[in-house]
């Protein structure tokens, strides 16, 4: 008859030993580069989540400028901007990020790397969301990574997700796994250009409906009472962000160029509400000496189906064009000769 006590003790010993071994593996490999006694190895971005990968980039102090935004700003290549802005950019835009997540990202950069030399906010719907103060978190934003409490960092490291990312990092050093993005955050997350099919893209842009001509009608006029009733809670966070920057920092508010099919349709009340939100953002920008650039208009880019993969995501050549125009608008104060954007504040 087996000695059950010995069997149980052996099982518990193996179980406890496995937990300790996994914990030591996580601490020594340190995939998020936050443990002071971890192994002195290169730590590229191997996490599939920008929300988990970006804090180590901002703590590295390799960058003095930052882009925040959603996926509509992720294709802006920092290397295209660095020279003209005389800066070292990190693109910390996140897929489907909320305005609150973008604010928290900026604050983390400011506390850990200093006030950015250049701040670019890629503005999309989230900043004009009337429920932005209630719907703050999307896709599991790890608040513990963006605060200043080191103890909760260590506590939250010990889970299967971190263990998997630590294993990926080991795989990278063994030549079995590639970094997910450049260390400055840039990644071409859209499909390969060689795979582009206009008709397939057009179905996604127009959501399966036939393309519609854009009516040339102004939005309805909102009364003063209707305007005062509109609430855009995220704009208070934008005002705080800009107010925390010194006068020497360049501040750029850039409305990203989503396709006209994804914009508020001309002539509707929704278009009037968006126009009011744009006006308030422009006023905030002017009050803080920011440059406000609006690509979210009907333009040669946004009315051309072949510029997009879907209603929100433009193609890589368009991203490079936007970066060139961003340089012209923000650095040189130039208007767009093609009508791609409008300078709302210089």
Q: Is 98 helix (H, G, I), strand (E, B) or coil?
A: coil
Rounded to an integer, the average pLDDT of 170-187 is: 93
> Is the predicted pLDDT of residue 101 greater than 70, yes or no?
yes
Burial class (CB within 10 angstroms; exposed 0-12, middle 13-18, buried 19+) of 202 = middle
Distance CA 60, CA 90 (A): 11
Tell me what percent of the residues of the chain surpass a pLDDT of 90: 75
Q: What pairing do the DSSP bridges indicate for beta strands 65-68 and 342-345? A: unpaired
- Whether residue 339 contacts residue 293, with contact meaning beta carbons closer than 8 Å, is answered with no
Residue 14 in domain: no
pLDDT value, residue 19: 72
Q: Could you count the other beta carbons within 10 Å of the beta carbon of residue 22?
A: 16
pLDDT value, residue 2: 56
Residue 19 in domain: no
pLDDT value, residue 151: 76
Rounded to an integer, the average pLDDT of 229-240 is: 97
> Is the predicted pLDDT of residue 51 greater than 60, yes or no?
yes
pLDDT value, residue 1: 45
Distance CA 71, CA 92 (A): 10
CATH number at residue 198: 3.40.50.1110
Spatial neighbors of 334 by CB under 8 A, at least 6 apart, are 328
Q: For residue 334, what are its two tokens?
A: 């130039």
Residue 7 in domain: no
Angstrom distances, CA of residue 251 to CA of 123, 133, 289: 13, 23, 7
Rg (C-alpha) for the chain, rounded Å, is: 23
Tokens 């064009």 map to which residue? 321
Q: How many domains does the chain have?
A: 1
The string of pLDDT tens digits covering residues 252-303 is 999 999 999 999 999 999 999 999 999 999 999 999 999 999 999 999 999 9
293 φ/ψ angles, rounded to the nearest 5 degrees: -125, 130
Residue 10 in domain: no
Q: Could you count the other beta carbons within 10 Å of the beta carbon of residue 172?
A: 20
Rounded to an integer, the average pLDDT of 128-148 is: 89
Residue 340 in domain: yes
Structural domain of residue 203, as residue ranges?
Answer: 45-148+182-345
> Is the predicted pLDDT of residue 199 greater than 50, yes or no?
yes
pLDDT value, residue 160: 76
Residue 309 in domain: yes
Residue 4 in domain: no
Residue 177 in domain: no
> Is the predicted pLDDT of residue 129 greater than 90, yes or no?
yes
């Amino acid at each position: 008859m087996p000695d059950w006590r010995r069997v149980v003790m052996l099982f518990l010993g193996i179980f406890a030993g496995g937990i300790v071994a996994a914990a030591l593996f996580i601490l020594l490999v340190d995939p998020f580069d936050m443990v002071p006694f971890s192994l002195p190895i290169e730590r590229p971005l191997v996490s599939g989540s920008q929300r988990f990968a970006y804090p180590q980039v901002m703590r590295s102090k390799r960058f003095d400028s930052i882009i925040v935004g959603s996926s509509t700003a992720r294709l802006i290549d920092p290397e295209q901007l660095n020279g003209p802005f005389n800066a070292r950019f990190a693109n910390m835009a996140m897929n489907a990020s909320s305005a609150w997540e973008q604010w928290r990202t900026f604050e983390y950069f400011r506390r850990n790397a200093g006030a950015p030399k250049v701040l670019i906010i890629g503005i999309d719907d989230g900043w004009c969301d009337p429920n932005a103060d209630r719907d703050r978190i999307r896709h599991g934003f790890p608040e513990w990574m963006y605060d200043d409490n080191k103890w909760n960092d260590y506590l939250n490291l010990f889970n299967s997700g971190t263990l998997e990312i630590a294993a990926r990092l080991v795989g990278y050093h063994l030549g079995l796994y590639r970094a997910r993005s450049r260390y400055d955050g840039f990644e071409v997350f859209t499909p390969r250009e060689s795979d582009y099919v206009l008709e397939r893209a057009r179905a996604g842009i127009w959501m399966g409906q036939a393309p519609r001509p854009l009516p040339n009608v102004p939005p309805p006029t909102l009364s003063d009472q209707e305007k005062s009733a509109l609430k855009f809670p995220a704009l208070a966070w934008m005002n705080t962000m800009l107010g925390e920057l010194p006068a020497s920092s360049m501040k750029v508010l850039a409305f990203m160029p989503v396709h006209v099919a994804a914009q508020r349709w001309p002539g509707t009340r929704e278009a009037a509400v968006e126009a009011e939100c744009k006006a308030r953002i422009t006023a905030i920008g002017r009050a803080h000496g920011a440059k406000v650039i609006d690509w979210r208009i009907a333009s040669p880019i946004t009315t051309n189906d072949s510029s997009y993969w879907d209603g929100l995501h433009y193609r890589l050549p368009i991203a490079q064009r936007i970066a060139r125009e961003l340089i012209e608008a923000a650095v040189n104060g130039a208007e767009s000769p093609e009508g791609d954007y409008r300078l709302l504040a210089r």
